[in-house]
Structure 1
Amino acid sequence: MTNRREEKREIGELDEKLMAYLRGELGEADAKKLEDMVADDEEYAGRLERLLLGEGSGGQEMTDETLSDKQQRKILRRGKWRMRLTNSAFTFGIVFLAGALAFFGNAWVGSWMHADMFRVTKDLVNFTQSGVSAGSSGSQVGALYGQIKLELREQVGAEQKTAGFLEVSNFLWNVRAEPKWAGGIREKKLFFRYPTDEKMTGDETAYLRTPAWNAMGKLPEGTVSQLAISFDRPMTLKEYESLVAQHVFAYNMETSWLAVDTGAEARGHEPDGGNLLLSAGEVWGFSDRALDYGDAPIQLQGDWDRRTATFVAEMKYLAEHERLTDDIGEDLIFGRDTRIAERYDYLQKHGVRIYGAVVTGPTKELLKLQAEKSITAAFLGKVDWWNWDRPGASGTEYSW
């Protein structure tokens, strides 16, 4: 009760001051002081406006005679503009705050999604495009929109050549991928024969090897080549390296890509005369040098368990991001289902088993693989002039 009485008393005193001002009973200094208080205090301004509108205090009423029309209009105009400015500032503050929250929230979502999108894109290039690996990249990340431009590299001899680019963009969670191969097309020359249950003799698969061996025999000494080879059985990475080392020294050949049995290769394919041939997008594997092994160095001729475990870990990552993997994979591998969960489960149960590889090096050195009886198919890819001796300095400059 005491607080309420004091509040009423303060309001009464305030109205008395304002009434005295309106009647012109205040001196010039007191009137100026009260005007400043009205300009700075919304409560004063509100009380003054109500008194002008005829809402007296304690039964008192105002008439037009107590204050000139000019004074009334000035005070009312000041009150209206104060209200407009207050409302505008409040509205602007709400809009600004909402915009700031939306911007930073969407930027956070965009950055978070960009990291997953980049990693999935890079893995799918390395795992589904035989002989091709992900190269340099550029990206843009906005509040709602993101874009990645990834270089596609293909190794022929000792040189990495640009085979095209892959552009991946997203608007929120809608993702699209668009491969742009050099010249508008990709020549598919690297094929793999999948080792089916139906056993074939060497004579029955000879037509899958003879053209490549003949062409390589006619190529001059000073050339390097790219060759896809397939074996009659899946084998471990260690077994593969031991097998090819029997014919070609490690410094005369480099394995740029490995074809891996993921258990889904035969689905949806009918063997042609007992032979099942797979090309880019149909065959899965990995580019050894493209895997992220962390800070610890990796021995490319060794560390077999660590290398295959890294590949399986990335396949697990793709399976955990199945929707994003399918969205990007649909455009990269021509609408085919990635079957990523099925492939990952198969690798967990059976391990990483190699049944083919893309090798590159001096043409005449690669021709020595002709003596390996377990090779059931050989397809010659790109051929270039001698570049096996790496220059002391080289580089590439991009326009993007």
Structure 2
Amino acid sequence: MVDAHRTFVIVGGGLAGAKAAETLRAEGFSGRVILVGDERDHPYERPPLSKGYLAGKEARESVFVHETAWYAGADVELHLGQPVTSIDRGARSVELGDGTVIHYDKLLLATGAEPRRLDIPGTDLAGVHHLRRLAHADRLKNVLSALGRDNGHLVIAGAGWIGLEVAAAARGYGAEVTVVEPEATPLLRVIGPELGQIFTELHSDHGVRFHFGTRLTEIIGQDGMVLAARTDDGEEHPAHDVLAAIGAAPRAALAEAAGLAIAARGDGGGIAVDASLRTSDPDIYAAGDVANMPHPLFGTRLRVEHWANALNSGPAAARAMLGRDVGYDRVPYFFSDQYDLGLEYSGWAPPGSYDQVVIRGDAGKREFIAFWLKDRRVLAGMNVNVWDVTETVQELIRTGRQIDPDTLADPSVPLESLI
């Protein structure tokens, strides 16, 4: 029996919100749990949208966090296809797009992020795509299949994780792919220049064409359809479709309008929270892509946009809402699958934060672990086609101990012995 005297509201129908609702019930919360999502689909996970589902290797049903019947069985009230338009902190209530007002005792904001848009002529053409939502993946999946069937061309703006994963999926369908990237290598802002060439070669081996050091300046079309994409060096690239994969921005406007503290753009933006995922309002919490939190291991604020953060921060916020003692300090983690290459990355080491990259294994065969070091301390590690090492890599990061780089690079030395 639900106790209607206490109401916890979750805004955001993604993984973080769904796992928070699950945790509230698992931890014994007996009040009302209301989950509001602006999409009509039930909460789902986003990695398959650029990986298994997009590539046609996983069924659409596999993306959902819970079976549909779970929500009614757990007494979780769903308001789908309804955006929250405002938060009244004084009244402790939220208003939905249809005018419905819902009171809350505790509120969790798990509003996620949204794809950044290309600010160039031609983005209104029918063949211009973004990939963030299930509806986007549904459409793009059909597009890639048609491009492969008709020998069509896809131009991708951006060689980040989404751009590269979609490039791999597109080549799997047989589509022609050109990736336009302003930096000199893929993934430069994530893994630095030392390893970017590995991904250039991986995709080039599978027929992807790269155009580095340039940006799209115009998408050329006729009768509403894409014909080509022009770059700032004057070249035109044939295209039937264009994907904008130039990053994502936190959906923090709702929180900002309510007067909640927002993290500085230089720190990643988003809703500023403390170690317990509480915002500047003690009754409001934030989790997932939109939350910007202090991280004790790296001595800075971080906003992490990856699956593992949504998976773990949603439950952590739920426990904090229940009054539990929470100190969220998970090591950032993400994974990627591209062709026959699978990888896991743990830690945080953007260019400029490290002074050395150490390779253990054979980078030429794409079977190795890369470590980013600062003063001989591991900041991050990425295992490529090497498995069952993530816990050890994360422990190396957590210990913060100095390690001899030659020993770290030596595969004959057990990684566990370095902890």
Calculate the TM-score normalised by the size of structure 2.
0.21
Larger helix percent: 1
Higher RCO (CA 8 Å, separation ≥ 6 residues): 1
Give the alignment's TM-score, normalised by structure 1.
Answer: 0.22
Greater C-alpha Rg: 1
Higher fraction of strand: 2
